[in-house]
Amino acid sequence: MKRLILFSFVTTFTLFANEANATKSMPNELKEGIGYIKMLGKELKGNLKKHLKADKSGLSAAEFCANNASKIAEEVSKKLPKGVRVYRTSLKVRNPNDKPDKTDLKVLNDIKDKFDNKEPITKPLMVKVGDKVRVYKPLIIEPVCLKCHGDATKINPKIKEIISKKYPNDKAINYKVGDFRGVIVSEFPAKK
């Protein structure tokens, strides 16, 4: 019975937090993954808030993010236990190093389909990938995000310049408030 339940979860690739009681190990793994995600989220959001508070135009935050967001994800991952990493990805990436893999694409498309059908997924979800677990936390566009990710014709030209110099193939624009932006992911060894 447990194998059948586990097989269905692996087949669909998603496990919602409220369905985590299917096996005894799932709730702990979900909590563990959320904890790692919060570590990265706290670092990124804290720094962005600081820069936005100092410069309401968003220019300082854009400069900071372009030069430091990937480094922060790497630094946070280095502080985590062996075999654990956190990262961000999206269907519309800014940084080509954040390109989703096959599993990420499946999850991202599933979440986007739910958003497109007016059934947004906002809670973290969990996927088993071989001997690893991935927890995905959807990121939703808030008004402040539009300074760098909004309508391309309305983004401050100086911010656009920073982004285009660092990321000439940027796809992470033309979002609206409430859109699905992407995910923060934690990946770690599955519990035996």
- The Cα-based distances of 44 to 11, 56, 173 in angstroms read 33, 17, 19
pLDDT in tens, 96-154: 999 999 999 999 999 999 999 999 999 999 999 999 999 999 999 999 999 999 999 99
> 126: Cβ–Cβ under 8 A, 6 or more apart, which residues?
14, 15, 17, 20, 26, 29, 30, 33, 133, 134, 135, 136
Q: How many domains does the chain have?
A: 1
> 95: Cβ–Cβ under 8 A, 6 or more apart, which residues?
69, 70, 167
| pTM confidence score | 0.82
What is the residue range of 27's domain? Answer: 2-189
